């Protein structure tokens, strides 16, 4: 909850969180936090159904990517499984003019920005750098360097103010995505300082999926992450990150506050990484099955399905159509991945500097010779 506490929300951690849809699919009309802000959503029946469709679609394309990685078609994959509501809810809360700075796991946000979902497949296959136009879609390139994008986002947000682009419904706001682990990085804390003192129009959206690879949350912080904002002088709020409605409501309000000159907000989306950190990780080495099971009961998609069913907003025919459309998209992605070329490792030197550098050129030459030494031999 926001600064000042009460135990609210079904299955909430101590201190509570903003929740508008319980794990059983019960709708909570509105939530008022200790600082007096009230959160609610006012969706049409179609908008509720569209949100459900988004959730199912991004889970399906993520599952296809995981399968393709296992079949040797992608070099690695960072799955969003379990984090669909945090990503779809926050992504849909962005207005068209808002700018997003993702990590490497934000395939769901990417999808909500209207980017062709094939793009991250090329990146994780190693054949390109992602390939989307960051300015056209207002969604920057993926970053692997933990926390670095929060500084880029802060600088960009300060620029938005300097360019006079804030204010009113058409004003621009910025969102920076990062994980629980990233909060230990200097960059993230520096971003908090700069955004705070410059009152930058930015929302810090932390997906607390409970792990930084194998490190659990209790090895990362002594206080709930949203309370870190107190020390930097801006509001922090925790939401049920498996609740797409609460995620939408709180993110939309924080972005609108930012665009209207009220400065940054830190949102902690309390969620869970259901899969491995990446396809290179084995989570059974550091967490127990019962923990994963307990989070299955809080699944973001099944609660939305339960809600739609109880409210008679959707029937089996609708759910079947959504599944079929997601399957068709996944098969299309598969075909397009299979048609991609093999990665050429030597291209890793291509984008280090825009105009080249003697040192990198020498490294490229050395690597190309090394590679050529294998040619013709079985490897």
Ligand X SMILES: Cc1ncc(C[n+]2csc(CCOP(=O)(O)OP(=O)(O)O)c2C)c(N)n1
The catalytic residue among 27, 70, 219, 286 is: 286
> Does the annotation mark 273 as catalytic?
yes
Helix ranges (H only) for the chain are: 45-70, 84-93, 107-112, 119-125, 134-137, 148-162, 186-197, 228-232, 244-259, 289-296, 300-310, 316-338, 358-372
Q: Is 211 an interacting residue with respect to ligand X (CB under 6 A)? A: yes
Per annotation, catalytic residue among 105, 113, 238, 277 = 277
What does the alpha-carbon distance between residue 229 and residue 216 come to, in Å, rounded to a whole number?
21
**Which of ligand X, Mg ion, none has residue 146 at its interface (CB below 5 to 8 Å by kind)?**
ligand X
Site for ligand X contains 265 (CB under 6 A): no
* Residues 232, 250: Cα–Cα separation, whole Å: 20
Q: 3-class DSSP state for residue 357?
A: coil
Chain positions 134 to 153 lying near ligand X, rule: CB under 6 A, are: 144-146
The one among 180, 240, 243, 268 contacting Mg ion by CB under 5 A? 180
| Partner from Mg ion, ligand X, none binding residue 182, C-beta < 5-8 Å depending on class | ligand X
For position 186 contacting ligand X by CB under 6 A, the verdict is no
Contact between 257 and Mg ion by CB under 5 A: the answer reads no
Integer-rounded Cα radius of gyration of the chain: 21
In the complex with ligand X, the residue whose CB is nearer, 161 or 279, is 279
d(CA 176, CA 77): 21
Q: How many CB atoms are located within 10 Å of the residue 88 CB?
A: 31
Torsion of CA 264, 196, 110, 45, to 10 degrees: -10
Q: Does 292 bind ligand X (CB under 6 A)?
A: no
Pair 152, 182: CB distance under 8 Å: no
* Binding-site partner at residue 213 among ligand X, Mg ion, none, CB < 5 to 8 Å by type: ligand X
Residue 76 touches ligand X, criterion: CB under 6 A: no
Binding mask 87-106 for ligand X (x = CB under 6 A): ------------------x-
Helices (H), 78-179: 84-93, 107-112, 119-125, 134-137, 148-162
Is 212 one of the binding residues for ligand X (CB under 6 A)? yes
Q: Which residues contact 25 (CB under 8 A, 6 or more apart)?
A: 302, 303, 304, 305, 306, 307, 308, 309, 310
> One of 125, 273, 303, 334 is an active-site residue; which one?
273
Q: Of the ranges 8-16, 26-34, 110-118, 179-187, which one interacts with ligand X (CB under 6 A)?
A: 179-187
- State which residue has the least CB distance to ligand X: 179
Of all residues in the shown chain, the one whose CB is closest to Mg ion is 179
124 binds ligand X (CB under 6 A): no
How many whole angstroms separate alpha carbon 32 and alpha carbon 92?
A: 22
Binding of Mg ion by 209 (CB under 5 A): yes
**Tokens 């993926």 sit at which residue?**
142
User: Pick from Mg ion, ligand X, none: which does 18 bind, CB < 5 to 8 A by kind?
Assistant: none
Pairing of strands 211-212, 215-216: antiparallel
Question: Of residues 171, 179, 275, 283, which one binds Mg ion by CB under 5 A?
Answer: 179
What is the smallest separation between the CB atom of 213 and ligand X, expressed in angstroms?
5
Q: Tell me whether residue 286 is one of the annotated catalytic residues.
A: yes
Q: Computed from CA positions of residues 46, 51, 52, 57, in that sequence, does the dihedral angle turn out positive or negative?
A: positive
Q: If binding is defined by CB under 5 A, does position 83 make contact with Mg ion?
A: no
Quick check: is 125 catalytic?
A: no
| Closest CB to ligand X among residues 70, 219 | 219
CB of 178 to Mg ion, least distance (A): 9
- DSSP 8-state code for residue 240: E
Task: For the CB of residue 224, give the shortest distance to Mg ion in the complex, in Å.
Answer: 15
Comparison of 225 and 245: residue with beta carbon closer to Mg ion: 225
Per-position DSSP letters for 125-141, written without gaps between them = HTSSS----HHHHTB--
What minimum distance in Å lies between the beta carbon of 216 and Mg ion?
10
CA distance 333 to 74: 12
Contact residues toward Mg ion (CB under 5 A) are: 179-181, 209, 212
Contact residues toward ligand X (CB under 6 A) are: 105, 144-146, 178-182, 209, 211-213, 273, 277
By annotation, the residues acting in catalysis are 273, 277, 286
């Amino acid at each position: 909850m926001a600064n000042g506490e009460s135990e609210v929300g079904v299955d909430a951690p101590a201190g509570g969180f903003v929740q508008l849809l319980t794990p059983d699919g019960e709708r909570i009309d509105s939530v008022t936090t200790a600082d007096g802000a009230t959160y609610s959503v006012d969706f049409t029946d179609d908008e509720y159904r569209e949100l459900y469709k988004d959730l199912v679609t991004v889970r399906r394309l993520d599952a296809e990517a995981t399968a393709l990685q296992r079949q040797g078609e992608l070099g690695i994959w960072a799955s969003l499984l379990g984090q669909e509501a945090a990503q779809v809810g926050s992504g849909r809360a962005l207005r068209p003019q808002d700018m997003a700075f993702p990590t490497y796991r934000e395939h769901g946000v990417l999808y909500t920005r209207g980017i062709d979902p094939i793009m991250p497949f090329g990146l994780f296959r190693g054949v390109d750098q992602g390939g989307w136009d960051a300015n056209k879609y207002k969604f920057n390139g993926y970053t692997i360097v933990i926390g670095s994008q929060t500084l880029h986002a802060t600088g960009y947000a300060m620029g938005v103010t300097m360019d006079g682009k804030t204010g009113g419904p058409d004003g621009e706001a910025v969102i920076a995505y990062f994980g629980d682990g990233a909060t230990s990085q200097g960059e993230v804390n520096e971003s908090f300082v700069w955004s705070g003192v410059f009152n930058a129009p930015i929302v810090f959206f932390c997906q607390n999926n409970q792990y930084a690879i194998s490190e659990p949350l209790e090895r990362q912080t002594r206080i709930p992450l949203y309370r870190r904002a107190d020390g930097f002088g801006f509001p922090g709020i925790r939401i049920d990150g498996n609740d797409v409605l609460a995620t939408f409501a709180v993110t939309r309000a924080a972005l609108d506050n930012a665009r209207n000159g009220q400065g940054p907000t830190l949102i902690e989306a309390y969620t869970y990484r259901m899969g491995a950190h990446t396809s290179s990780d084995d989570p059974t080495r550091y967490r127990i099955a019962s923990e994963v099971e307990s989070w299955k009961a809080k699944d973001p998609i099944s609660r939305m399905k339960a809600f739609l069913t109880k409210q008679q907003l959707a029937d089996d025919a609708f759910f079947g159509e959504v599944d079929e459309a997601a399957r068709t998209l996944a098969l299309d992605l598969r075909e397009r991945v299979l048609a991609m070329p093999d990665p050429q490792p030597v291209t890793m030197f291509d984008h280090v500097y825009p105009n080249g550098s003697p040192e990198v050129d020498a490294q490229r030459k050395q690597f190309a010779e090394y590679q050529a030494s294998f040619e013709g031999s079985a490897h």
